[in-house]
Amino acid sequence: MRYTHVIVGAGAAGCVVANRLSQDPGNNVALLEAGPPDSNPLIHIPAGVTRLAAPEFDWGFSSAPQAQLNDRRLWYPQGRTLGGSTSVNAMIYVRGQPRDYDLWQSLGNPGWGYADVLPWFRRSERHARLSDRYHGTEGELGVARQTTYNPLTRAFVEAGRELGLAQNEDVNGSVQDGVTLYDQTRRNGRRESAATAFLHPVYRRENISVHTSALATRILVEGGCAVGVEYRQQGRRKTINAECEVIVSGGTINSPRLLLLSGIGPADELSDLGIEVVHDLPGVGKNFQDHMDVFIAAETRPVSYSRRNRVHNRLRHMLRYKLFGTGPMAAAIAEAGAFVRSDDSVAGPDIQIHCLPSFVVVKDGPMLLDGHGMSLFILNTRPRSRGSLTLNSPDPDDPPRIDPNFCSDPEGHDLRIAVEGIKWGRRFLATRALSGLVREERVPGTAVAGDDQIREYIRGWAKTGHHPVGSCAMGNGEMAVVDNQLRVRGLDRLRVIDASVMPRLVSGNTQAPTYMIGERGAAIIQAGKLV
């Protein structure tokens, strides 16, 4: 079979690119996904998210020891199935702030300012609630709110108003500040993933071929041009050629990993591992950024989506979900959130608070505690720490070394904002709206009171916010990996199109921006230039 384009990775960006390129009958597109098909029902039921951290759906990564977090290795989940992380995430649809994209442009990326990218956000979107200059209603990706909410979620929103925050009906519009019921990637009570939105509807196209359980091991380069991909499927080594381009969409961990395995990256690192240097590109795997997550868990009156409640009423919940697409099984893990400022001097919100009406903590993976409770997961949305992604060996089966390098910024900014985030979370719990439902703060507990104690708690419990970006950064400097047309610098017929190209982390979840990058990247390929 002859293919014009070979795409590696069926996540948010890869599925969009495969869909758009296969709209042209002159193209013949192959999409390689290391994981299995997305056929497990748990993927499509929103409440199934806590059971998706399993080898069937996840790469099983963990971080390098974090020097500023008591040398802990952090759980680092990444989706490994059709849809990638969009099949296993919290479904939150947040774009960030307009200034995030204007910053991208100022860093040497013309055509990536907010005015440039807004049409590509709208292109994907089939918004069930909003139709205006910020939102689309004709795209493939279902975006909607839940139809019913837990009482703790409603109380959280009221608590935000009590604290003087506006109830923001569109944090993806002109202003992000405020408390909000999240828009989510959902349709008819089910998860909407990149696969359900962009792949399943086009399976009958004759010019798209989806290969699952296909682990890409090397990009084939001849004479400075990418010509194909070597991969392994069912224990057999295979090769697939691309007449036009190879497109790497493996995400912030697996895209630089594949480039490095292919001899594309810092020459000294590759040589030290015995990998032949195909192209010296020092920025591959650098500029790694992620949101660090801290949390508060509180025991509540018996109103949450507790472990006991789910088991005792499982049949009733399943019936309600099957008949009406509502109830606890249709609920996302985080139903609401708030965007607040660490102090009045910052330009825009720099703290995001997720409200989970479940008694959830994370220690080497998510854990539902017994009894009723709620959790607030809190992110510094503009971190200054920078990490890296490197190889441990030339073996494609060895996991890479993932080092987000949390709280490593010399000024101590990131740790300070995390402390302020805990204080903001406690302000929510102390409001009239929530204090009548909250019985006791259990984690970290009221004994953790002063800033020094909060810092120690953070060092012992902080985790990834699941938003890694930047390891194949877009730009025009010597550490840039791709240019503003997402072409790998110094090589022909090779692009990276996914969250790894973000030069800076956006002020919120990264799912929506990655869909946008997929749309924009596909349009650039189709037009043959920046559009």
Go through the chain and tell me how many residues it has.
Answer: 531
Q: Which of 5, 44, 466, 467 is catalytic?
A: 467
Residues 103-139 as b/e (b if ≥16 CB within 10 A, e otherwise) read bbbebebebbbbebbbebbbbbbbbeebeeebbbeeb
98-106 vs 114-124: helix crossing angle, rounded to 10: 130
Report cis status (omega within 30 of 0) of the bond before 302. Answer: no
Q: Which of 251, 208, 211, 206 is nearest to 231 (CA)?
A: 211
CB 441 within 8 A of CB 447: no
What's the CA gap between 163 and 147, in Å, rounded? 25
Q: Verify whether residue 354 is a known catalytic residue.
A: no
What's the CA gap between 463 and 78, in Å, rounded? 14
What's the CA gap between 144 and 126, in Å, rounded? 9
Please report where in the chains the tokens 């590696």 appear, as a residue: 8
**How far apart, in Å, are the Cα atoms of 168 and each of 129, 161, 239?**
14, 10, 50
What's the CA gap between 489 and 95, in Å, rounded? 27
12-21 vs 511-527: helix crossing angle, rounded to 10: 30
CB atoms within 10 A of CB 477: 10
**How far apart, in Å, are the Cα atoms of 327 and each of 234, 355, 508?**
40, 17, 27
What's the CA gap between 106 and 234, in Å, rounded? 46
Residues with catalytic roles: 467
